Each structure stands twice: as C-alpha cells, then as structure tokens.
Amino acid sequence: MLLLIIAPLSGLLISCNDEDDTTQGTSKVTVRMTDAPGDYDEVNVEVLDVMIKNNSDTSDNGWVSIGNISPGIYNLLDLTGGITVLLADNEVPSGLLGQIRLVLGDENTVVKDGVTYPLNTPSAQQSGLKLQINQTLQAGATYNFLLDFDVEHSVVVEAGGSGNYNLHPVIRVTTEATSGAIKGTILPITVQTLASVEVNGTLVSAYTNEQGVFQLNGIPSGTYTVTLTPDIASGLTVLVVENVVVVNGEITNMGSLTLP
C-alpha cells in the first residue's frame, strides 16, 4: 500500500476552551479529484482512503480517516474538462485542519498505445507530497477541496529504455472559496492543445480532452493571459488570449476558440 501525503491545508479538529465560537461545532468538507490530462490512453490510480490531521505537525502521527469515502480505481483521464470525482464528503470538527492525505493502493497502471504497464511508486516518493494551504474551518460552513492531479508531470518514464513507468505525484490543492477556473473549447477538436496560464510565477496547464475542452483549475481572482499551444504536428500556430478575468468561486468560460 502506498501512503501519499498530499496537503497540509489548515483548519480543523481543534476544540480548545479559548477558541472563538465560529470554530466550535462541525464543518462540511468535500474532497474531489480532477486531472490535467497527459499523453496517455489511461492513467489508473487506486484510491483507498482520504485522511486528515488536526495540526501542521510534520510527524507521521495523528492521522484519521475523514470517513464516508468512495474508494476505487479511477482513470485520471476521465477527469478532464471540468469533470471531477467525489472522494470524501463528511462533517468534521471545526478549527485547524493541518493536512490531508490520499491513501493509494497498488493497483495503479498506465495505458500507452493500447498496452497496459504497472505504474510504480519509488520508495523515495512514499513520504508523499505536502502542499500548504493554511485555512481555518468555520462552524457550519462548507469547504470543497479539489485535488488537481497533473498527469503530464506525475507519470515519468524510467530512463534507460526499460519501459517502466513511475508515479511522481504532482498535485495542486485548491478550494472554491479562494480560486476560480478557466474553461474553453478549442477548434478543431481533433487537435490536442495545451492550455496554460501563469499564476504567481507558476505555470498551470491542461490538455484538451476528446471533445476539445480544457479547464484550468485553482486560478485565483485576477486578469490573465491564456496561451493555447496545439500539437506541433497539426501545423497550426499558438493562440494567445489576453485579459481573461477570473472570479473566485466561478468558472470563466472562454467559449469556442479556433486555432489560427
């Protein structure tokens, strides 16, 4: 079993006497997973559990299951163009949530050109990937966390021509309250296109799916330049769209965009 640590968020499980009433009681927490697709037929990941921790302590103690889990093997490439899967949905104690941990099984595979390969996780990766969010959960509020799996950078072909595929997870964790999304449809839909935007020095990107749809998740409110880069074999050129406005909690739909 692989235990993949995903995110020191912030806010949950503390109930001290000197706390404000807004952190007494429970908060509704949902955890969803989506994907920025890569150039594979399938990338299948077995999810067993979603766990949380009540503080920002980096030790491996204090983990509990969030409960009400939807375990299963998920093809990440089905989760594109704004499609997500609900992994966990439950009431949890309000207060400081330290971390969230995605627990994976060993039934992880990648399909390339119709051939299925094991998707291995090197032992060095078993300590996981931690992402800081720092947010206190208020009593009675609902928090929707989105785990955005970047397949293009998470699946690595082993050097030396061995044909082995390794999982080096690259995951962004965002919330609806503190970010929005950019969506659009690229024409012609038969051309795989990479949509990208720079956010505070970090490049956020996603390929179009089979319907030509892309969605860039976890984009904070602001005005951005979206770059659409088609497959070089198509002979089409890059399309740059400026002044794309994003509002927290909303999806900015750019509509249909035709590559030049």
Indicate the residue among 137, 154, 177 that finishes a domain.
177
Check if the beta carbon of residue 136 is closer than 8 Å to that of residue 10: yes
Where in the sequence is the domain holding 18, given as residue range(s)? Answer: 1-177
Same domain, 21 and 141: yes
The rounded distance, in Å, linking the Cα atoms of 42 and 23 is: 42
Asked whether residue 78 carries a pLDDT value surpassing 90, the answer given is no
Q: What is the pLDDT of residue 161?
A: 64
Q: What is the pLDDT of residue 58?
A: 62
> pLDDT tens across 12-25, in order?
333 333 445 555 78
Give pairs for 204-210: CB < 8 Å, separation 24+.
Answer: 204/36, 204/172, 205/36, 205/150, 205/152, 206/36, 206/37, 206/80, 207/36, 207/37, 207/38, 207/39, 207/80, 207/152, 208/81, 209/37, 209/77, 209/80, 209/81
Q: What is the pLDDT of residue 15?
A: 35
How many independent structural domains does the chain possess?
2
Same domain, 168 and 183: no
Same domain, 173 and 219: no
The whole-angstrom distance between residue 79's C-alpha and the CA centroid of its chain comes to: 10
The pLDDT confidence band at residue 113, using thresholds 50, 70 and 90, is confident
Same domain, 163 and 205: no
Indicate the residue among 159, 177, 195 that finishes a domain.
177
Percent of the chain past pLDDT 90, that is, above it, reads: 23
Percent of the chain past pLDDT 70, that is, above it, reads: 80
Averaged pLDDT, 20-37: 69
**What are the DSSP calls for 150-186, one per residue?**
EHHHHEEEPTTTT--EEE---EEEEEGGG-EEEEEEE
Q: What is the pLDDT of residue 46?
A: 87
Same domain, 28 and 104: yes
The pLDDT confidence band at residue 134, using thresholds 50, 70 and 90, is low
> pLDDT tens across 41-65, in order?
888 988 888 888 776 666 677 778 8
Q: What is the pLDDT of residue 34?
A: 76
Averaged pLDDT, 53-82: 79
Same domain, 16 and 144: yes
Same domain, 212 and 154: no
At position 217, the amino acid (one-letter code) is N
CATH code: domain of residue 245: 2.60.40.1120
Same domain, 131 and 227: no
Same domain, 144 and 252: no
Same domain, 74 and 166: yes
Q: With 0-12 CB in 10 A as exposed, 13-18 as middle and 19+ as buried, what is 33?
A: buried
Count of all residues that appear for the chain in the document: 260
The rounded distance, in Å, linking the Cα atoms of 207 and 133 is: 25
The pLDDT confidence band at residue 5, using thresholds 50, 70 and 90, is very low
Which letter does DSSP use for residue 149 in this model? E
Indicate the residue among 177, 210, 238 that finishes a domain.
177
> pLDDT tens across 212-241, in order?
999 998 898 999 999 999 988 899 999 999
- Provide CB contacts within 8 A for 35, sequence distance 6+: 43, 76, 77, 79, 80, 148, 149, 150, 151
Same domain, 150 and 185: no
Same domain, 86 and 183: no
Q: What is the pLDDT of residue 18?
A: 42
